[in-house]
Chain A
């Protein structure tokens, strides 16, 4: 046999190998009755559940303490948004009926605190925060928003990305709409009702082997942002709920 002939035979052998391997995994003929596709919970390529604590190494003085009025460093605001931020009055804000404006979905994960992520059912992830006592729901599959008024946490649809080959390489993509306007930072840096979010939840392995949740949030607002505002936040996993400490929203701290 010539070398080209050998090569063709080998490649031909390789080309038929995958179906055989698939058959071993139970997907081929004779592997039993077809099985229902896994639920989003069953198909999860990464485990996001548990208690997670914020690691505040970025934007510290905008998150850990009250930032100064008119300080919107890093946020690509439109002139209209700057005008609103510059007119923010902390004394008035404290009296408003909506104290959770800085705890809406676009800003929620920047608030120092803890997350509790669980499966509400096989189709829905629930994300709760102790700071501000907020709850977000990430719906999978063919879920449709029931409509209704805009809310601070909006309507979120989740879908899995990647995964299957590595241990932790999959991620959760979440798209959120139907949001009510609020603040990106507690000092009145605004976003409006036309805002939408794209988020990616991923788990990376820290040098000591423990998991770190990294969430990249891209906020789009045609009224108050010149370009999408993109930030990423980190959370370490905690073994128990021992440090879970629910607290109300605050407009002053």
Chain B
């Protein structure tokens, strides 16, 4: 019995003196501030606009072959988005901690689902990542660590998804790293998409959220398969060189086609020198002008 007391005391000592893993409370409803990339995240990006995406040739080719009607196929109508949708979509976040029922420690942080994205469960308990051949899905597998007050989440085991909702795809080899930082009632999520199949370097987006007392809905999948009229056996697509939307952004905004085809060079200031002579000042805005 005495030995049990000693063991209990030591266990209590370890529990009480260990540094807290959850260094800051992220729980609550965080309302997305969609001031940047407002069109892309809301109504959706312009077709054939991949400027600022660090595509490789495969990524560009896949995007050019994309036809939006593909998501009307019964097989893909419930093709909900990967966790990248946090950055690419317009929706707010609801976050909460899941305690371990025995120790009370935070076992996981959860970023609640949306209609088109499954919840992101960020395992904080050090569980091993599944093997590389384990099943992949749009949810993926996410683990997290604290860097002081910063929560860093790493997501793998994703199925093919998208980086921009106009055909820019991510592969099942992609890794998403998300850094959550809280500044009072402001939350910043900085996300890296690292995809060796379709990118030459990580694609980076950062998003901001305001804390709200209005609860954010966490209703997510499943969705119900419906018939949108795509006949069996047809896969909507564009053959190489036949995407009809290439050049549309050039007409509307004066941006050279080469810039719209993306590539890491389009992410950096020097690229302005490359396209300056080819840029044509656009006419006054007539569509999707905001306000």
| Cβ–Cβ < 8 Å partners of A229 in chain B | 35
**B23 to A165, Cβ gap below 8 A?**
yes
Q: How far is the CA of A84 from the CA of B289 in the complex (A)?
A: 14
- Which of B118-126, B132-140, B227-235, B274-282 is near enough to bind chain A? B274-282
Asked if B56 is at the interface (CB within 8 A of a chain A CB), the reply is no
- Select which of B152, B259, B268, B281 is within 8 A of A53 by beta carbon: B268
| Cβ–Cβ < 8 Å partners of A206 in chain B | 192, 202, 204
- Select which of B36, B53, B183 is within 8 A of A161 by beta carbon: B183
What mask results when residues 48 to 81 of chain A are scored 1 for a CB within 8 Å of chain B, else 0? 0000011111111100111111111111110000
Beta-carbon contacts under 8 Å, A1-19 to B: 1, 3, 6-7, 9-11, 13-14, 17
What mask results when residues 206 to 244 of chain A are scored 1 for a CB within 8 Å of chain B, else 0? 111000101010100000000001111110000000010
Asked if B146 is at the interface (CB within 8 A of a chain A CB), the reply is yes
- Which of B10-18, B59-67, B107-115 is near enough to bind chain A? B10-18
Q: How far is the CA of A90 from the CA of B254 in the complex (A)?
A: 16
- Select which of B12, B152, B190, B291 is within 8 A of A234 by beta carbon: B190
**A75 to B35, Cβ gap below 8 A?**
yes
How many contacts between A and B, using CB within 8 angstroms? 206
For the complex formed, measure the closest distance between the CB of B209 and the CB atoms of chain A, giving whole angstroms.
9
For the complex formed, measure the closest distance between the CB of B288 and the CB atoms of chain A, giving whole angstroms.
6
Asked if A40 is at the interface (CB within 8 A of a chain B CB), the reply is no
- Contact size class for A? 35 or more
Give B residues with C-beta under 8 Å from A.
5, 8-9, 12-13, 16-17, 19, 23, 33-39, 49, 51-53, 146-150, 152, 175, 177, 179, 181, 183, 186, 188, 190, 192, 194, 202-208, 210, 249, 253-255, 259, 266-272, 275-276, 279, 281-285, 288-291
Task: Given A65-B255, A68-B282, A166-B150, output 7 extra A-B contacts at Cβ < 8 Å.
Answer: A10-B16, A65-B259, A67-B285, A74-B35, A112-B268, A204-B150, A205-B147
Per CB-CB distance, the 8 closest pairs between chain A and chain B, nearest first, are A166-B148, A169-B148, A74-B38, A73-B290, A71-B285, A112-B269, A166-B147, A232-B206
Give A residues with C-beta under 8 Å from B.
1, 3, 6-7, 9-11, 13-14, 17, 53-61, 64-77, 82, 90, 112-114, 131, 161-171, 173, 200, 202, 204-208, 212, 214, 216, 218, 229-234, 243, 253
